[in-house]
Structure 1
Amino acid sequence: MVNGLHDQQSEIPESDYSQSLKKMDVATCEAMAVSQAIKIDHVAKHIGYSVHIYKRICRHSVSLVSAVPRSRWVTSDFENWDFACAAGQSRAIMEGYLLFRYLVIPPSCNDEWVTKLLVLYLNDRVRRAKMMADLMATEAADQWSSEIEELRIRLNSNPWFLALDTEVRKGCLSGKYLMVQNRDQILELAGLDRGQFNAAWDLLSQYAHMLPMLFTSSEPDGRGSGEENQQDKDYIGATVACCADILNTATNIMTTEFPATKIVRQGIDSIFYKGPKSNHPEFPKNHR
Structure 2
Amino acid sequence: MSDYKKTYNRFVVTLDRCKSTSSEKADIPSPTSSHYYSSLIFTKLCTSAESLLSICPSPTKIGKNAHWDCASAATLTRAIVEAYLVFYYICIEECEEKEWQARWRLLNLHDHMSRLKMFNVMKGAEEQVKQFEKYTPTVQSDLEKSEFFKALSEKQRDHYLKGNNAFFKSQDELIESAGGSVEEFRFRYRFLSNHAHSYPMGFYRMAESGRGTGVESKCEIGYTGLCLEWTTECLDKAQSEFVSKWGG
The TM-score with structure 1 as length reference comes to 0.79
Unaligned runs of 5+ in 2: none
Deviations 1:99-136 (A, max 9, x none): 00101224312x32221111111111111111111113
Q: Is the counterpart of residue 228 in structure 1 residue 216 in structure 2?
A: yes
Q: Is the 8 A contact 1:223 1:229 kept in 2?
A: yes
Higher Rg: 1
Q: Distance in 2 between matches of 1:160 and 1:108?
A: 9
Structure with the larger helix share: 2
Q: Distance in 1 between matches of 2:108 and 2:159?
A: 14
Q: Distance in 1 between matches of 2:195 and 2:10?
A: 23
The equivalent of 1:211 in structure 2 is: 199
Q: Is the 8 A contact 2:5 2:59 kept in 1?
A: no
Q: Is the counterpart of residue 81 in structure 1 residue 68 in structure 2?
A: yes
Q: Distance in 1 between matches of 2:41 and 2:24?
A: 15
Give, as a single letter, the amino acid of the residue that structure 2 aligns with 1:142.
K
Q: Is the counterpart of residue 190 in structure 1 residue 153 in structure 2?
A: no
Q: Distance in 1 between matches of 2:113 and 2:94?
A: 27
| Cα deviation, residue 42, structure 1 | 4.4
Give, as a single letter, the amino acid of the residue that structure 2 aligns with 1:232.
E
Q: Is the 8 A contact 2:52 2:77 kept in 1?
A: yes
Q: Is the 8 A contact 1:91 1:205 kept in 2?
A: yes
Q: Distance in 1 between matches of 2:65 and 2:87?
A: 35
The equivalent of 1:286 in structure 2 is: none
1:171 counterpart (159, 184, 202): 159
Q: Is the counterpart of residue 30 in structure 1 residue 46 in structure 2?
A: no
Q: Is the counterpart of residue 141 in structure 1 residue 164 in structure 2?
A: no
| Cα deviation, residue 167, structure 1 | 4.1
Percentage of identical aligned residues:
27
Of residues 220-229 and 62-71 in structure 1, the stretch that sits farther from structure 2 once superposed is: 220-229
Q: Distance in 2 between matches of 1:256 and 1:169?
A: 34
Deviations 1:211-269 (A, max 9, x none): 21121120178122221111121111122111101101100111112345xxxxxxxxx
Unaligned runs of 5+ in 1: 1-13, 261-288
The equivalent of 1:265 in structure 2 is: none
The TM-score with structure 2 as length reference comes to 0.91
**Count of aligned positions:** 243
Q: Distance in 2 between matches of 1:78 and 1:118?
A: 50
The equivalent of 2:80 in structure 1 is: 93
The equivalent of 1:250 in structure 2 is: 238
Q: Is the 8 A contact 2:55 2:69 kept in 1?
A: no
| Cα deviation, residue 149, structure 1 | 1.6
